Amino acid sequence: MQNIDDEFYERADQHIQLSNQQITEEIGRGKVSASMLYATSRFNAWVSATGWNTGEELANAKEETIEYFLTEYRKMLEENLDEYIENFEEYMSIPPK
């Protein structure tokens, strides 16, 4: 990942904490994940739009923009899945009561 500042992981953890708080018996992990994914795509569409002066400019950059975000998401997902694979027993163990 490029340009990681000192607060990068802290901000990410805050998003994860909010998502964890939203999980209930009625609203499961899958629904919360879908909401978070939608919010991320919506925010990234806004961030992308702020870099252009017209809708036409944004439209001309659409495919390149999509490819950028898909590539970055894939790298991050692969990195995190690899970490969970490597640390599965530790991360997924249920603490004794």
- Measured CA to CA, the distance from residue 36 to residue 76 in angstroms comes to 15
Q: What is the DSSP string of 28-48?
A: -HHHHHHHHHHHHHHHHHHHH
- Measured CA to CA, the distance from residue 67 to residue 82 in angstroms comes to 22
Of residues 50, 40, 43, the one with CA closest to residue 16: 40
pTM of the full structure: 0.86
CB 61 within 8 A of CB 52: yes
Of residues 52, 74, 72, the one with CA closest to residue 62: 52
For 27-83, the pLDDT digits (tens) are 999 999 999 999 999 999 999 999 999 999 999 999 999 999 999 999 999 999 999
- Measured CA to CA, the distance from residue 79 to residue 19 in angstroms comes to 20
